[in-house]
Amino acid sequence: MSKGTDVIIVGGGVIGTAVAYYAAKAGKQVTLLDRGDIAAGTSGACDGFIILQSKNPGPHLELALQSAAMYRTLSAELDYDLEYMPCGGMVVAETDTQAELLRTLIRKQQAAGLSVELLPIKEAREREPLLAEDLWGAAYCRDDAQVNPIRVAQGFSQAARRLGAQIRSGVEAQGLIVENGRVCGVKTNEGELRADNVVNAAGVWAPELVAPFGIDLPIKPRRGQILVTEPLPSMLQHVLLCACYLIAKYHPEKLDLTDRQHRLGVGLAVEQTAHGGLLIGSTREFVGFDRRTTLAGIEAVAQHARRILPALANVNVIRTFSGLRPHTPNGLPILGPLAELPGLIMAAGHEGDGIALAPITGQKVAEYLK
């Protein structure tokens, strides 16, 4: 039996590493376990949107606003270049119906204090000239931004390590140790580890850890397939989503399942990374833990991208990849202590918002540690 620590964090993605950093900063003794490697799962297979206007007004948007504010100074705080770019973002509407949906959402967001406006296509194209002329327009938010998710996880993990945290990749949490009804450690492939608190930041794999105790966490893997292009000169000024993304996210009942694009949950999400390549996504599919890309998926994403940004037709795609987003039924992450298992603190289920919400999640979850 190894000697105890204050907190064990299970999962080395953006969420787990953020919790590790803020906990270590608060003076806790921290051990982070990942059975693979830092950012080897979902955090290494996603885009880097910090997008506010995709969040529902309420706690979701409030957390996102706080998180976005933290990102502005995070590279300096972690002493690590997160490739943060305050580029602003747009959500593109193709039709009147979509514009109406955006208008409803925007009104509530404006009331909640978000600076977001709906631009007809002519004005939208002044900001983003490559948008197709026959679109309806786009919602624009100047506070949207982007970051490199892999570097976020690495930046948090290295900064946590400097504060004394132990970052142990290749160590698998095989089960929880529960004594007198309280979680007090983790069984691993390298022996047992004791701690006052265990944080479950295992993303799509989070349910595995608590399933033996009869707890059925409502987190399901949802696959997103993304295309990567060759490095290009500056083409896009903003991170771009389309209204289909919001429909697939918040109103799946409005999807037309006879349409392949809708069936695969394709909603455009395009960004140009610091290295010049475009990340063009994405599908939203429930296919278990299958991380392959499919021809149908990448074809549907490519078609949709060409529809919204016709100038992309000639860019070259060099790779496709997919990641598993931790989906929850209400679109909100599961954060905080789990009543059924005292000592266990949840930090999982962010689906497509993990990057945007990582800093605030890390900070809030660290506050729960005793």
Partner 1 sequence: MEGVKFTGALGADEKKQVLPSSERTNRGPVAVIECVQEIPCNPCEKACPFGAIEIGPDITQLPRLDLDKCRGCGLCVSKCPGLAIFLVDASKSETEALVMMPYEYLPLPEIEDIVDGVDRTGRFVVKARVVKIDTGAQRQGTAVVTLAVPKAYMHEVRSFRITAHGEVFLCRCCEVSESEVRQAVREGARTVAAVKIRTRAGMGLCQGRTCRRLIGRVISEETGQSPADILPPTSRPPVRTISLDALAGGEDNE
Of the residues 166, 315, 331, 338, which one makes contact with partner 1 according to CB under 8 A: 315
Crossing angle of helices 149-162 and 354-368, in 10° steps, is 30
Which among 162, 202, 197 is positioned nearest to 182, based on CA atoms? 197
Cα gap 333→63, rounded to integer Å: 11
Structure tokens at 299: 């074809």
Whichever of 32 and 70 has its CB closer to partner 1, that residue is: 32
Cα gap 267→313, rounded to integer Å: 17
- Least distance in Å: CB of 59 to partner 1? 32
Of the residues 122, 233, 234, 314, which one makes contact with partner 1 according to CB under 8 A: 314
Structure tokens at 287: 């296919």
Q: How far is CA 202 from its chain centroid?
A: 13
| Max CA separation in the chain (angstroms) | 66
Q: Which residues between 26 and 85 bind partner 1 (CB under 8 A)? A: 37-40, 44
Q: Where are the alpha helices (DSSP H) in 54-167?
A: 59-71, 74-78, 96-111, 121-127, 149-162
Whichever of 145 and 227 has its CB closer to partner 1, that residue is: 227
Q: Which residues between 320 and 349 bind partner 1 (CB under 8 A)? A: 320-321
- Least distance in Å: CB of 37 to partner 1? 5
Q: Which residues 6+ apart lie within 8 Å of 139 measured at CB?
A: 53, 90, 91, 93, 102, 106, 116, 117, 118, 119
Whichever of 295 and 339 has its CB closer to partner 1, that residue is: 295
Check residue 230 and report its DSSP letter.
P
Whichever of 149 and 349 has its CB closer to partner 1, that residue is: 149
Of the residues 100, 230, 340, 367, which one makes contact with partner 1 according to CB under 8 A: 230
Q: Which residues between 244 and 303 bind partner 1 (CB under 8 A)? A: 259-261, 275, 280, 293, 295, 298-300, 302-303
Q: How many residues bind partner 1 (CB under 8 A)?
A: 38
Cα gap 117→246, rounded to integer Å: 16
Whichever of 281 and 343 has its CB closer to partner 1, that residue is: 281
- Least distance in Å: CB of 115 to partner 1? 32
Is 232 a binding residue for partner 1 by CB under 8 A? The answer is no
What is the helix (H) or strand (E) element at residue 336, kind and residue range?
A: strand 334-337
Whichever of 148 and 361 has its CB closer to partner 1, that residue is: 148
- Give the interface segment with partner 1, choosing from 52-60, 91-99, 109-117, 313-321 (CB under 8 A): 313-321
Identify the residue whose tokens are 């509530």.
Answer: 108
Is 118 a binding residue for partner 1 by CB under 8 A? The answer is no
Structure tokens at 99: 């514009």
Strand partners, 117: 140
Whichever of 65 and 227 has its CB closer to partner 1, that residue is: 227
Q: Which residues between 170 and 229 bind partner 1 (CB under 8 A)? A: 170, 227, 229
Which among 293, 273, 53 is positioned nearest to 282, based on CA atoms? 293
Whichever of 100 and 230 has its CB closer to partner 1, that residue is: 230
Residues at the contact surface with partner 1, assessed by CB under 8 A: 37-40, 44, 150, 154, 169-170, 227, 229-231, 259-261, 275, 280, 293, 295, 298-300, 302-303, 305-307, 312-321
